[in-house]
Structure 1
Amino acid sequence: MQENLKALTTESRNKRSLKIDTSGPMDILRIMNEEDQKVAKAVEKVLPDVETAVQFAFESFKKGGRLIYIGAGTSGRLGVLDAVECPPTFSTDPDMVRGIIAGGERAFIKAVEGAEDRPEDGAEDLRKIGLTEKDTVIGIAASGRTPYVIGALQYARKQKAKTVALSCNENARISLEADQAIEVIVGPEVLTGSTRLKAATAHKMILNMISTSSMILLGKAYENLMIDVSVSNEKLKERAIHIITRVTGESYETARKTLEAADHQVKLAIVMIKKGVGKEEASLILEQADGYVRKAIEDIQSRG
């Protein structure tokens, strides 16, 4: 690929930081902080594009498909990071949201040189996980030109999966390979070309939005509470108990006992208390409400 790197926004020089090498610590911090403040505004401009990605992911989940992030280097690590947080936060199967990084899992902690340069590797990594038309694939590349990501998106489209290209440059090469492009323009980095800075921050924000929004749409929140949190340690158990008390108005001890009776499933415990039923009947009520606690509670109240 022979694109002129100098023409890319992510590779251009930031005039505010031209003398950063002669600056003191506080001046460096101020420059970085002021540049970081531009990121949220840049993300705001692409919210309609992000909404489309959320819709893709939500539809995939409803069909039993997956959300798959794929990228190289920092971009790949961001995808993996967002994916691995979904099971503890939303009690999802680890396969439901997947993060794939060029060079494999070892590349997460140590760079694998040249891994991003082979488009066929991107295609092969998606083939290995059995990609289908039910899935949504989000290719992440700050530059928008990474061959590994291009190959992955091309393969995904052949499999009729929904595709999203996430970059930080206008008219990015990967945008041509996707059903939806998200080009979030954050401007030149404080350190020229170091896209682990503003570009990575923007992408982290957008990935957070996509996964969190789609999970909320799936019914994994009640009001602004994480009612499908995985109770895998004492801290999360305490969080779960407090969630139950807030929703039901019951005491800490009642919430704790009900959570344990519900096999540590917060949703189930809430319905058990609200309806005054055992685990099996509460489970049936939740199933009839398609897993949405609000719907289950409203149905309960309307029948009461």
Structure 2
Amino acid sequence: MSESELLNLHHLTTESRNRQTAEIHKASTFGILQMINDEDQKVAAAVQRVLPEIKTAVDCAYDSFQNGGRLIYTGAGTSGRLGVMDAVECPPTYSVSPDQVIGIMAGGPKAFLQAAEGIEDSEEAGAKDLKNIQLTSNDTVIAIAASGRTPYAAGALTYARKVGAHTIALTCNENSAISKNADHRIEVVVGPEAITGSTRMKAATAHKMILNMISTAVMVKIGKVYENLMVDVNVSNKKLKERAISIIQSLTNASYDTARNTLEQANHHVKTAIVMLKTSTDQNQAKTLLDEANGFIDKAIENYHP
């Protein structure tokens, strides 16, 4: 990344002043909130405009999963935290391995709680963090940077392309510097922030929405969702057990007690319990049906022949 790309901030949309909030310092409490809310309402429309690019990212991640690869988010500051948050929610929600969706943040786990902004200026650190997880050509790397110019993200993308992984730059400025380092780009332009340069606001909201969309869409495509229910939820506490029972009841019309007992017979595997009730089979038969259907409930049920 050139020095001019690194230092020239004033031309970036994310660093521009917002005329609508120029007198926010004079506003009442409600007025402040109204201005922020008015700006937030622009975010969903901006995300809608880049749906084709988001689809490409989903296709890349799905291809990685089909080939034993991983989905990896990387970024610094708020961008890195967003990737970590999306990644850590995938195992409890969809019972995927913590190694299948990974969030890497400049500065490591400590930087999640206490800002370590200096590390974002190192391209070498971005590459090193991917080397440390043994990045392969089967993986998909999404580098997140609201400004589109963070050296840490640029270094990560450069290394990932060298390895042959799918690479996507997720930014909030058109023609972003780091987009040049990626195979694909998602440039979601939300406009100037309510507080100039505070990209933890609209930019971060847009990026959170997009990351949620990518991970959720991939999970749907690999069979982790049936109808619109999270049938692969990890039953790891009382709340999630109740959710699992409710899911089973919703899909099978079973009573609460029947759903709970079947879930326990299925070793708390929701999909297995559903197939057991839908096909009147035992735990072993239901598990076999699911395995043969690559985990897709509808295919498992269709393939059952009593």
For residue 27 of structure 1, what is the aligned residue in structure 2? 31
In the superposition, the TM-score normalised over structure 1's length comes to 0.98
Query: Runs in 1 of length 4+ with deviation above 4 angstroms?
Result: none
Once residues 302 and 247 of structure 2 are traced to their aligned partners in structure 1, the CA distance between those partners, rounded to angstroms, is 18
**Code of the aligned partner of 2:256:** Y
* Cα distance in 1, alignment partners of residues 264 and 181 from structure 2: 48
Match of 1:191 in 2: 195
Deviation, 1:298, is: 2.4
Tell me the residue number matched to 2:267. 263
Name the stretch that deviates more: 36-45 or 105-114: 105-114
SS at match of 1:263: coil
In the other structure, the counterpart of 1:83 is 87
Q: Distance in 1 between matches of 2:291 and 2:54?
A: 30
1:126 aligned partner: 130
Corresponding residue for residue 154 of structure 2? 150
Report the counterpart of residue 229 of structure 2 in structure 1: 225
Give the match for residue 218 of structure 2: 214
Deviation at 1:9, TM superposition (A): 0.1
Give the alignment of 1:284-299 within 5 angstroms: 284-299=288-303
Q: Per-residue displacement from partner, 1:30-80 (whole Å, max 9, x unpaired)?
A: 000010000000000000000000000011111111000000000000000
Report the AA paired with residue 143 of structure 1.
S
| Equivalent position to 1:135, from 135, 139, 162 | 139
Note if contact 2:87-2:103 (Cα within 8 Å) is conserved in structure 1.
yes
Q: Where does 1:157-176 land on structure 2 (aligned, <5 Å)?
A: 157-176=161-180
What is the letter of the counterpart of residue 218 of structure 1?
Answer: I
Matched, 1:237 2:228: no
Paired position in structure 1 for 2:53: 49
Q: In structure 1, how many angstroms separate the alpha carbons of the residues matched to 2:41 and 2:298?
A: 36
CA RMSD of aligned residues (A): 0.8
1:108 lines up with 2:112 in the alignment: yes
1 CA distance for matches of 2:241 and 2:256? 12
Aligned partner of 1:41: which letter? A
2:95 aligned with 1:94, yes or no?
no
CA distance in 2, matches of 1:64, 1:184: 29
Match of 2:276 in 1: 272
Aligned length: 302
**One-letter amino acid matched to 2:161:** R
Q: TM-score, normalised by structure 2?
A: 0.98
Q: CA offsets, 1:220-240, max 9 Å, x none?
A: 011000000000000000000
Is 2:154 the counterpart of 1:177?
no
Q: Does 1:13 align with 2:17?
A: yes
| Matching residue's letter, 2:123 | P
Preserved contact between residue 76 and residue 117 of structure 2 (Cα < 8 Å): no
* Structure 2 unpaired stretches of 5+: none
For 1:298, give the aligned amino acid: E
Match of 1:2 in 2: 4
Cα distance, 1:172 vs structure 2? 0.1
In 1, the alpha carbon distance for the partners of 2:115 and 2:294 equals 43
Is this contact kept in 1: 2:179–2:185, CA < 8 A?
Answer: yes
Percent of aligned positions with the same letter in both sequences?
Answer: 62
Report SS of the residue matched to 1:153: helix
Return the alpha-carbon distance in structure 1 between the equivalents of residues 302 and 191 of structure 2. Answer: 47
Report the 3-state secondary structure (helix = DSSP H, G, I; strand = E; otherwise coil) of the residue aligned with 1:138. Answer: strand
| AA of the residue aligned to 2:49 | K
The AA in structure 1 aligned to 2:35 is I
